[in-house]
Amino acid sequence: MGILQFSGKKSKPNAPLDKFERILYYACSRPHVDCKPIFPSGQCFEPNTGRGHGSFFLNYIYRVYGVCEPNFGTTVKDDPSYGDCHNI
């Protein structure tokens, strides 16, 4: 039996935040996209930053659809989950 290695996405530190936030708001308005975890009182709301929410969202889209916008996201090997916010 092999060891599973985490592979996910997070926001790039140099991603243009204004465009990134517009994509995030657009995506959250679409059906079948669950953005509740990054809304106030959601388990992934903190840190309440565009990059924090963006990292959760990029990883979510990567996990569900297998795609990532290369201008905004990068691959990570370390699981970014914390507290009750699970990215797997």
Inside any domain, residue 86: no
Element (H, E) at 18: helix 17-28
Mean pLDDT along residues 45-62: 83
Cis bond leading into 31, ω under 30°? no
% of the chain with per-residue pLDDT over 90 = 8
Place of tokens 């090997």: 77
What is the structure's pLDDT at 27? 78
Element (H, E) at 75: strand 73-76
Inside any domain, residue 23: yes
What is the structure's pLDDT at 72? 76
Place of tokens 């039996």: 1
Total structural domains in the chain? 1
Mean pLDDT along residues 16-43: 84
Inside any domain, residue 45: yes
Q: What is the domain extent for residue 26?
A: 8-76
Mean pLDDT along residues 36-61: 86
Indicate the pTM of the whole model.
0.73
Mean pLDDT along residues 42-63: 84
